[in-house]
Amino acid sequence: MLVKLAWRNLWRQKRRTILTASALALALILSLVMRCIQEGSYSANIENIARLSTGLIQLQHPEFKDSQSIDDLLSADPEFIDFARELSTVETILPRIESFALAASGDKSKGILVFGIDPLPEDIYSSLSKKVISGSYFSERQNKGDKPQVLIAEGLARQLGLQPGDELVLYGQGYRGQTAAGLFTIQGILHFPMPQLNNQLVYMSLQSAQYLYSTGDLVTSWVLHTDSLADVEQAASALKQYYQQGVNVRDWLDLSPDLAQQILMDRTSGLILMYLLYGIVGFGLFATLLMMTLERQREFAVMLATGLLRSKLLKLICIESAFIGLLGIIIGLLIAFPILIWLLFNPITLTGETAQLMLEMGYDPIIPVLLDPQLFINQIVVVLGLLVLCLIYPLLRLYKIDLVSALKGGAHAA
C-alpha cells in the first residue's frame, strides 16, 4: 500500500514531479555525455601513445626503469613470454631493444635513441610504415653482404644531412661494457609530429640491435597490448604474480606518467564541473522534497494519528523520492543512450590545427566516446546519492513532526 500511495502522491503535482525528474534527467544526460566523451578521448589518447611508443604494459628488468642500461635485460626466449601469450586479454606481444648511441655521418654526430624492433609485427601494431616520408620501410629480405638497414627520424636526417641510401655510423656502449659500433644503410626517413621523437629516433631490426649491442638472445623490454584499457589492470596483476621479483611489470600509468597526470587533471576538472551541475539540480530537488514534506504535514499527522508508524511515514517519503529519482534516471538514460550510440558511430570530428596534428601522428581527428557500463553506474549512483543528501533534512523534520501542531496545520509542526 505504501508503494501505491507513494506512486499516486507523485502525480498529485504532475508538473512539479515532471519538472524535477526532468532536471535530474538533464543533469544525467549532460554528465553522461560529457563523461563518455571525456573517457573516450582519454582512452584514444592512451591507446595512441601506447601504439606510438610504450605499449600498454612493458616487462622490463627490475633495474632498467632507473638505470636505462643495456646491461639490465630480459630473455628474448619464447618460453619466457609464454605465460603472457596465454593470457586471453593480451592481444600483442613485441620484443624490443631500447638504448642510446652516438650517430655520426661525415663530420656530424648526435646522440640518438635506438629502437630494435621486430619489423612486421611492430608495423601491424604501430603502423610505423605509414610514417615513412622518404625511402621505404624495412625490406623483408636482405642479401648477406648488405649492411643492416635503419629508419631514421626526419629531424635527425636533416641535422646529419642524410637521405635514404646514405650510410650512418652508430657508436655506443654494448652489453657488459662491450663496444657497440656498426655501419648502417638508411632505408627510410620517418616523420613524427613531436620534435622530441623527430630529432632522435633510429629504428632497426631486433637482430641488428642485438648484434650492435652484443646482447645475444636478450631484450630490454617486452611490449604488451591488451584488448582494451580495462584489461590492463588485470593482465598486469597476473603478470606480476607470475614473474614476481624477476621482472618489473609496468603499466601505461608508470610508463607515461605525464599522460597519466594530464588525464588526472583533466578528469578532475571535468568531475568538478559535473558535480557543480548536480549541485544546481540538487537545490531544485531539495526544494521539491522539502515542499513535498512541509505542505502535507496535516495529512501526515492524520496518518500518524490513525496508526502509521513514524518509520513507515519516512519510508513513504523515501519511496516517493526514489520514484522521482528513478523517473529522472529512466528519462535521462532513454535520452542519453541514443545520443551516445549516435556519437559512437558518428564521433565529433576535429578541425584546424588539432586535426592536422592528429592526422600527422597517424590518428583519426575525432573525439570518440567510451560506452563503459561503469560510467553509467557511476552517474546513477551520483543521482541516488544526491537524492539521499537532499532527503536528509526533510526526513529529519518529518521525524520530529509535532502531531498536535500538524493537525492544526501549523507552520512549525515539523
Partner 1 sequence: MSIKLEQLCKTYNVDTDFPVHAVNHLDLEIKQGEFVAVMGPSGSGKTTLLNMLGGIDTPTSGKVLIDDNNILELHDKQLIAFRRDNIGFIFQDYSLLPVLTALENVEFVMQLQGHSEEECRKRATDLLIRVGLAEHLHKRPAKLSGGQQQRVAVARALAPSPKFVMADEPTANLDAKSTAELLDIMQQLNEQEGTTFIFSTHDPRVISRAKRVIVFEDGLKKEDTIQAESP
Given the rule CB under 8 A, which residues bind partner 1?
A: 1, 4-5, 8-9, 11-12, 298-299, 302-310, 312, 403-404, 407
Minimum CB distance to partner 1 smaller for 3 or for 377: 3
Contact 394, 414 (CB under 8 A): no
Find the largest Cα–Cα distance for the chain. 106
Least distance in Å: CB of 11 to partner 1?
8
Least distance in Å: CB of 12 to partner 1?
6
Contact 242, 79 (CB under 8 A): no
Measured CA to CA, the distance from residue 38 to residue 40 in angstroms comes to 5
Measured CA to CA, the distance from residue 393 to residue 389 in angstroms comes to 8
Helix, coil or strand: residue 72? coil
Cell representation of residue 330: 529512466
Cell representation of residue 204: 632497426
Minimum CB distance to partner 1 smaller for 12 or for 176: 12
Least distance in Å: CB of 321 to partner 1?
16
Minimum CB distance to partner 1 smaller for 170 or for 316: 316
Minimum CB distance to partner 1 smaller for 244 or for 306: 306
Least distance in Å: CB of 50 to partner 1?
58
Helix, coil or strand: residue 263? helix
Least distance in Å: CB of 240 to partner 1?
56
Residue 410 sits at φ, ψ, to 5 deg, of: -65, 145
Minimum CB distance to partner 1 smaller for 65 or for 298: 298
Contact 393, 288 (CB under 8 A): no
Alpha helices (runs of H) in 118-219, residue ranges in sequence order: 119-126, 154-160, 195-198, 206-213
Residue 116 sits at φ, ψ, to 5 deg, of: -100, 120
Minimum CB distance to partner 1 smaller for 326 or for 407: 407
Measured CA to CA, the distance from residue 83 to residue 67 in angstroms comes to 26
Least distance in Å: CB of 282 to partner 1?
27
Least distance in Å: CB of 24 to partner 1?
22
Minimum CB distance to partner 1 smaller for 11 or for 342: 11
